[in-house]
A and B are shown apart, each in its own frame.
Chain A
Amino acid sequence: MITEIGHFALVLALAVALLQGSLPLIGAWRGIVGLVGLARPAAIVQFFLVALAFGCLMTAFITSDFSVINVANNSHSAKPLLYKIAGVWGNHEGSLLLWVLILTFFGAAVAVFGRNLPAAFRARVLAVQALIGIGFLLFVVFTSNPFLRVFPPPMDGGGLNPLLQDPGLAFHPPLLYLGYVGFSTAFSFAIAALIEGRIDPVWGRWVRPWVLGAWCALTGGIALGSWWAYYELGWGGWWFWDPVENASFMPWLAGTALLHSVIVVEKRDALKTWTVLLAILTFSLSLLGTFLVRSGVLTSVHAFATDPARGVFILAFLVIVVGSSLVLFAARASSLKGWGYFAPISREGFLVLNNLFLAAAVGTVFLGTLYPLFLDALTGEKVSVGPPFFERTFVPIMVPLVVLMAVGPLLKWKRSDILGIAGRLKAGVLGAMLVVVVALTWADARSALALAGMALAGWLLIGCMAILAERAKFSSGQVGQSLIRLARTPTATWGNAIAHLGVAIFILGVTASETWQIEKLQIMRPGESVQVGDYRFTFEGSEPLAGPNYTAVRGTFQVHHKGAPFVRLSPEQRHYPVPPMTTTEAAIYPMISGDLYAVVGDPNGTGGWSTRIYYKPLVSWIWGGALVMMLGGLMSLMDRRHRVGAPARRRLLKSPAAQEVA
């Protein structure tokens, strides 16, 4: 019964979306107040209907209702509750329902928080949001319905992929989708502005919190996925340039560019055409990611099932959305005036450079990810593009971006000169040298590239501090005054400094863990030990073990640090009966200075076990950096001036001073 209610709610949501996607557009066009007013309640009702459907599916999973095909295929009665819930989105149908849920959530959020938007504009935004919703609801109802029944119901379910039975992964999809789908609001704002044929600084102010929010969630989602790959796959890596990873990384790069170009629209009333195009591209890349991951063209842990009809549907939808928005863009772009050419050395000049580098980076990742697919489709030749390609293309583009990243925030709007900030740049060079010296005394230099990475991080570190020092005018010498100024610094400025600091932390983590990692691979018999850096690992043997829904072999290592007992590590190999699968559970002892990472493999038949042990310096700084970036984004979002309930158009135009504050 509950399942039927869910099914019915889903179909109703589709009906509401059809109304919301058409009538408000007509209303806004012909000036019919009643139809315009329809958009808000419709968006809220649509969200509640999809939430109801989602709740019904979750109930079916929690109660293990195996008469529902989706539950029977993907759940199991012996599974812990957390994974019964996570199992809702651990499969194709459920994860698409989550996609729609988040899409309608953003629609409802615009309806509720967008009170200050002009009614006609808001109606158009919500209508565009509903048009996207129609596409995905059709997709769910007709090709990926999670509410279908099976008769007779099986005694027990097929189980969830054991790799996905992990707390980190339980929250990876919702967070990632909040980011991915969150860019739909930026898209809807852009399309609505194109329909109206007008963009002004206030538009930038409206759209910025939505972009920021989505960006924060996507940053967190990607970091969580990377962290999961690090500890769950047992390969010790944290990013593999796998097409599925790239699918979420491309919207992140484009979204980062968008985040910065929106600021130029807001502050300088420029770069409008480009920003609108970028908003369209960012969401298109989100859709492309959904297509890559959901259609089954890629075989990966994310490709739950391969059904060509689904792939064709998403591809067609992708073509329609991207095609029609680009046509609209081509027709209307010329009416969006305001493309000024600014001084090269200015805040906005550097933001343009930021966008240029990020766009080039998106391009390289795009080519590297899609070229194998194109080649396969056209010639049938199987190729893959691995990490070396991306290291050779992506990294060289990022280096100048990071160099400029330390300078840009110090420049003034409109016009600035390099000489004015030369003092701080000198400090940056000193900082870079300091980090290199520390790195050299702490460990030997493995490569010039590693030193360059450390120098880059040091340079950026100083740059971030300079943003705040600049504000506080520490150079004036009056410390008390400066501290007061610092306390009064807008949250957004703090956010700027902290997010960029996150990048510096991330670079330190990547460089150190890649350069000074120690890997030891050997056969060990109980009692044998191996030295890894300052740590001595003694293998104590392996023993069988029974878990709640798996059996395992657990190895134990006693670790000594400089002779003193330090920690015991117990990696496992787990064998799951449903679905039959073996997973490697690495044992990790995380420290700020680096991680100890141990994996135990197969026995060699003569009493020894293959083991792999890593010492990874500063590796947790990689995710720490991402977390700090996210924190910076959230602080910007908290800034009173960027709140979703931002000042109305009239009020803002009267106070140009409000626009001058960085």
Chain B
Amino acid sequence: MKPKRRRLIFVIVAVTVLGAAATLVLTAFDENLVFFLTPSELAIRDVDPGRRFRLGGLVEEGSVEKVDDGIETRFRVTDLSAAVPVRYRGLLPDLFREGQGVVTEGAMGLDGVFVASNVLAKHDENYMPAEVAEALKKSGKWQGDKGRNAPDNW
């Protein structure tokens, strides 16, 4: 095989592989970007049921109820100007409490309830998820730093 021909083969293979990778990335980005929304943002944005996103805010005081013998939890996520009902089946993180910051991942159900497949509450008692803190600041409901940013926060 002549060097020119070998080079051509190499270039074709390289372009094919990298092109395929780029196509994969672009289509996957299109479908799998998970946006972070607060309840107020969700109210003005039209999100298709089934499309995954992250919903963050505070667990509304007095909204937590256990159904189905306690395996399913229903609560409301609020940013103090709007609230969204959430339903979650599974073990809640250790520091899931009313009034605490929370990030849930899932999709809106057809009944207007957010079906969470994942609930993240940070392990540190005083820690507020960064997205939630920022969202509260944006909506003007920020109460100031409740305590410290722990040296070993996470």
Contacts and interface: CB of A to CB of B under 8 A. Distances in A.
Contacts of A580: 124-125
B125 A581 contact: yes
Contacts of A579: 124, 150-152
A145 interface: no
Interface in B107-144: 123-125, 129-131, 134
Contact of B66 (A352, A388, A604): A604
Interface residues of A, number: 63
B54 A384 contact: yes
A341 B3 CA distance: 6
A130 interface: no
A386 B32 contact: yes
A573 B92 CA distance: 13
A602 to B, nearest CB: 7
B32 A385 contact: yes
B13 interface: yes
Contacts, number: 153
Interface in A561-612: 573, 579-584, 599, 601-602, 604-606, 608, 610, 612
B13 A523 contact: no
Contact of B34 (A304, A363, A385): A385
A393 interface: yes
Given A523-B71, A610-B71, A356 B6 contact: no
B10 A352 contact: yes
B17 interface: yes
Given A384-B36, A582-B94, A608 B69 contact: yes
A396 B25 CA distance: 11
B35 A383 contact: yes
Contacts of B129: 299
Contacts of B29: 367, 371, 385, 389
Contacts of B131: 382
B6 A342 contact: yes
Interface stretch (A55-63, A98-106, A155-163, A468-476): A155-163
Contact count band on B: 35 or more
Contact of A363 (B21, B36, B70, B125): B21
Residue among B14, B34, B54 with the highest chain A CB neighbour number at 10 A: B34
Interface string B4-25: 0011011001100110110011
B68 to A, nearest CB: 8
Contact of A385 (B9, B10, B33): B33
Given A299-B154, A579-B124, A392 B91 contact: no
Contacts of A91: 151-152
Given A73-B151, A363-B21, A371-B29, A581 B123 contact: yes
Residue among A303, A521, A581 with the highest chain B CB neighbour number at 10 A: A581
A384 B34 contact: yes
B94 A583 contact: yes
Contacts of A73: 151
A597 to B, nearest CB: 13
A300 B154 contact: yes
A384 B29 CA distance: 10
Contact of A584 (B10, B69, B94, B125): B94
Contacts of B69: 523, 604, 606, 608
Nearest to A599: B91
Contact of B6 (A343, A364, A382): A343
B124 A581 contact: yes
16 contacts: A74-B152, A158-B152, A299-B130, A304-B151, A305-B152, A305-B153, A360-B17, A364-B21, A381-B35, A384-B54, A386-B105, A396-B24, A521-B71, A581-B125, A582-B95, A583-B123
Given A164-B152, A356-B13, A386-B32, 19 more contacts: A158-B151, A161-B152, A163-B154, A301-B154, A304-B151, A305-B151, A343-B1, A356-B14, A371-B29, A386-B105, A388-B28, A389-B29, A393-B25, A396-B24, A397-B20, A584-B94, A601-B91, A602-B92, A604-B71
Interface of B: 1, 3, 6-7, 9-10, 13-14, 17-18, 20-21, 24-25, 27-29, 31-36, 52, 54, 66, 69-71, 89-92, 94-95, 105, 123-125, 129-131, 134, 149-154
